Structure 1
Amino acid sequence: MTATAVQKLLTEATTVTHTPGYEGANIGTIIGFKHVSYLIEKSVIDHFRRCGLPVGALYEQQGLGFDTVHIESRLSTALIVDDEASIEVKPVTTEDAAELAFKVSITVDRDGERKKAVTSKVRAVLRYDENDTRMLRRLPVPEGLERFVTKRIGNAEPGEPVVPGTGDELVSGGSTENDPVLDQLTAGHNAYAWKFRIPYPFVHFFERLQATGYLRLMEEAKHRFVDARGISIRALLEESNWIPAVTQSSLTLLDEARLEEDLYVVYRVDSVFKNLMYTSRLDYYVVRDGRLLKTATGSITHGYGVVENGKEGRLVEWDDRVAKAISGAS
C-alpha cells in the first residue's frame, strides 16, 4: 500500500478546489501574492494526502517534516476572495533528484470562462527530526521516499566575517535598522535592511523558520522599503489610489534559520523597467561563529496598480517622485 502511495505521489497529478484565505484580501477583494503562495503550498500538501501520505502522519510516525524549499510563481490574473480556484499539482521529480518537484497551476472562472491565474514551480524535502526527546519511536521511512529525506535543509557555506552587533538584545519579534552587520550588507547597494529576532509564530517543527515565514518577511520588506523612501503604501493610496501589484515572486531556502535567532533581511532593487515594473531581491542571513550564513534568497517583481470596485485592477505608470525613490536617486 505504501509503495503504491509513493508511486502516486511521484507520478500522478491531483486537482483540488480551494477558496483563498480572507486574510489575504488586503486591498478590496484581491488576494495578495503571499496568500497565493500559501494556497500553492496547501495544494501540494493536499497532493500528499490524496496519494495516501499525509504530511502530519509522516512526521508523527517517521519523524519526517514536510518543508517547502523553493516556490516560484507567475501571476497572470488576480485571485479574488470569492474564487473557487481549481488547483492542479503535477509531479515532475526526476529520477536522480533529492527534492520532490511539482508544477502547480491555478485556474479560475472569469466571465463564464476558465482562465489560468497562476503557474508555479515548487520543490520540497522531508526533514528528519533527530531529537529523541520529541520522537520516542519511529517507523521506517516509506520505500521510495528515502532520497528526499535530509537531516538539514540546505548546507550553505559560511560567508564573510562580520563586526559584532551592538546595542540591546532584541526580544522575540523585535527589530532594528541599526546594526553594523546591516551596514556591511547594504554598503554600495540600493537597498534597505533590518534585523529581526525570529519569533515562535514564524517557525514550524519546534524550531525552523518555514517558507511561509520568509514570505511574510518578503511582503513586509516591500512595505518597509517604500516607507523608508518616503512613498509608503498608505501615502500613495491616499494620494493616487496606487497599490503595489506583484506579477512574479520566488523563494529558495539555502539553510536553516532557527527560533530566536537574529535574522538579517536585505531588500535590494535589482532592475527597473521604465516606470512600470521593478524587480527586487531578498536575501536572508544569520550570523554563526562570527560569519554570515545566507539561509534563503528570493525575488519579487512589482508594479503599481489602481483597484476599483473591489477587484478591477490596472497597472499605472509611476511618476518621477516614485522613480527617484525606487532608484535611490537624491
Structure 2
Amino acid sequence: MTTVTDSAVKALLTSETTVPLRTRFEGANICTWIGFKHINYLVEEAILLHFAESGLEARALYTEHGLGVDLVELDTRILSALFMDETVEARVVPKAGDEDTAVSFTVTLTGERDGEDTKLVAARAKAVLRRESYIEEASEPPAPIARFVTDRLGTPVRGLQTPPDISGLDLTAATTSLSAGRGTTGPDPVLDLLTAGTNSFGWKWRIPYPYCHFSERLQMSSYLRQMEEVVDLFLADRGISVRTLMDERRWIPACPHSKIQIVEEALMEEELYTVYTVEDIFKDFTYTSRMDCYVVRDGKLVQTATGKVTHGYAVVDNRREWNLVTFDERVAKALRGEA
C-alpha cells in the first residue's frame, strides 16, 4: 500500500527529477523527425515519472486512493527537432505555492547536437488529482495532498468567452452516426453557429473509448491528438492537404509551439465540437491558430478545452535534412480563407 506521507508530497513539490527518455517509433511520420504530439508525450511521461520517483505513482494513487493524475495545462516550445531512436534527458522542476490547487512543472528536454548538450524542448504544465466517483463512492483524500484534489477537471482561462446560446437550434439532425467514421464537418447547426463570420474550420466527432482514461473522460494526450487531427482536416478542406504539399513540393507542417488548457470535462461517447481558427499569419512564415472544443450537455454548449498552435512549413531536402520556407500565394490564400 502506498502511504501518502508529508515527505513524499514534499519530494513531489520541491525535488527535481532527471530521467532519460527515448523517442517513440510511432511519432516519426515524415522521415525520422518526431512530431509535436509525441514530443508532448515525452513531457507528460517525464511528469508521471516525477510522481513515481516521489513515491506517488499514478497507478497507486488511483487504485488505493481513488485519485487520477491529470494534466490540465500543457504549453510546449520546440527549440530543435527530435529524431527517431534518440535518447533525451528530461529535467522536471516542480513548483506549488502554499495556496495553489495544482502542481506546476517546468520540463526541459536536452539532447546532443554537434557534440554539445543542447536544450531541445521547453515546456510548462499543471497537474491535479481528480477524485474518482464513477466506479466507487469517493472517499476523503490523504491530508498531505488534499489541496490538489478536485471533483472535476477544469482551469480558469482569462478572456475566454461564454459559448453561444444554442437553445433555438434544431439539434434533432445533429447527431454523428457511427457510420460517419471520423465525424462530420457539416452541415451541422452547432458548427455553423461556432464558425460563422470567422476564418474557422469546424469538426464534430464522437469521443471514442481509446481517447479516454480513468474510465470516463478525455485526457490531455487525446487533446493533443485532437489538435493534430483538426489541423490535418483543416488543411485538406483548404485544398493544401499534408499529402498534397508533400507530393508536389516536399513541404511538411512544422510546429514550434503548442498550448492546451482543459476548461471542463469531456466524457466518453459525447460528441466533441472542435473549432480551429486561424488568428495570425506572421510575414508568410508562420501562422498561429486557436483550437476550441465543446460538447452539448443538457441542451447547452459547454466549452471543454482551448489551445493555440503555431505552424510553419519545412521543405524536406533529403532523408536527413529540412529547412523552413516562406508561404507562397497559394498557401497564404488558403490559410486566410480566400478563394
Q: Work out the CA distance in 1 between the residues paired with 2:136 and 2:338.
A: 54
The 8 Å contact of residues 154 and 253 in structure 1, kept in 2 or not, is answered as: yes
Q: What does residue 239 of structure 1 align with? A: 248
% same residue? 46
SS at match of 2:264: coil
Q: What does residue 186 of structure 1 align with? A: 195
Which of 250, 271, 287 matches 1:278?
287
Matches within 5 A, 1:98-109: 98-109=101-112
SS at match of 1:176: coil
Structure 2 residue 183 is the aligned partner of structure 1 residue 175: yes
Q: What does residue 329 of structure 2 align with? A: 320
The 8 Å contact of residues 75 and 259 in structure 2, kept in 1 or not, is answered as: yes
Q: Work out the CA distance in 1 between the residues paired with 2:274 and 2:228.
A: 12
Q: What does residue 210 of structure 1 align with? A: 219
Structure 1 unaligned residues grouped into runs of 5+:
none
Q: What does residue 22 of structure 2 align with? A: 19
Q: Work out the CA distance in 2 between the residues paired with 1:168 and 1:290.
A: 13
The 8 Å contact of residues 161 and 292 in structure 1, kept in 2 or not, is answered as: yes
Q: Work out the CA distance in 1 between the residues paired with 2:174 and 2:296.
A: 16
Moved over 4 A (4+): 155-158
Q: Per-residue deviation at 1:308?
A: 3.5
Structure 2 residue 259 is the aligned partner of structure 1 residue 250: yes
Q: Work out the CA distance in 1 between the residues paired with 2:320 and 2:268.
A: 38
Structure 2 unaligned residues grouped into runs of 5+:
none
After TM superposition, the structure 1 stretch with the greater mean CA deviation from structure 2, 169-178 or 52-61, is: 169-178
The 8 Å contact of residues 164 and 181 in structure 1, kept in 2 or not, is answered as: no
Q: Work out the CA distance in 2 between the residues paired with 1:159 and 1:182.
A: 12
Give the length in aligned residue pairs. 327
Q: Per-residue deviation at 1:142?
A: 3.2
Q: Work out the CA distance in 2 between the residues paired with 1:14 and 1:167.
A: 48
Q: Per-residue deviation at 1:168?
A: 5.1
Counterpart residue identity of residue 183, structure 2: S
Q: Work out the CA distance in 1 between the residues paired with 2:132 and 2:94.
A: 25
Matches within 5 A, 1:80-91: 80-91=83-94
Q: Work out the CA distance in 2 between the residues paired with 1:51 and 1:300.
A: 32
Q: Work out the CA distance in 1 between the residues paired with 2:142 and 2:50.
A: 16
Q: Work out the CA distance in 2 between the residues paired with 1:169 and 1:84.
A: 42
- Deviation digits for residues 178-207 of structure 1 (CA, Å, limit 9, x no counterpart): 211000000010010111000000000111
The 8 Å contact of residues 99 and 148 in structure 1, kept in 2 or not, is answered as: yes
SS at match of 1:192: strand
Structure 2 residue 160 is the aligned partner of structure 1 residue 143: no
Q: What does residue 309 of structure 2 align with? A: 300
What is the aligned-residue RMSD (CA, Å)? 1.7
The 8 Å contact of residues 258 and 307 in structure 2, kept in 1 or not, is answered as: yes
Which of 36, 60, 85 matches 2:63?
60
Q: Per-residue deviation at 1:174?
A: 4.3
Counterpart residue identity of residue 176, structure 1: T
Q: Per-residue deviation at 1:213?
A: 0.9
Q: Work out the CA distance in 1 between the residues paired with 2:150 and 2:193.
A: 32
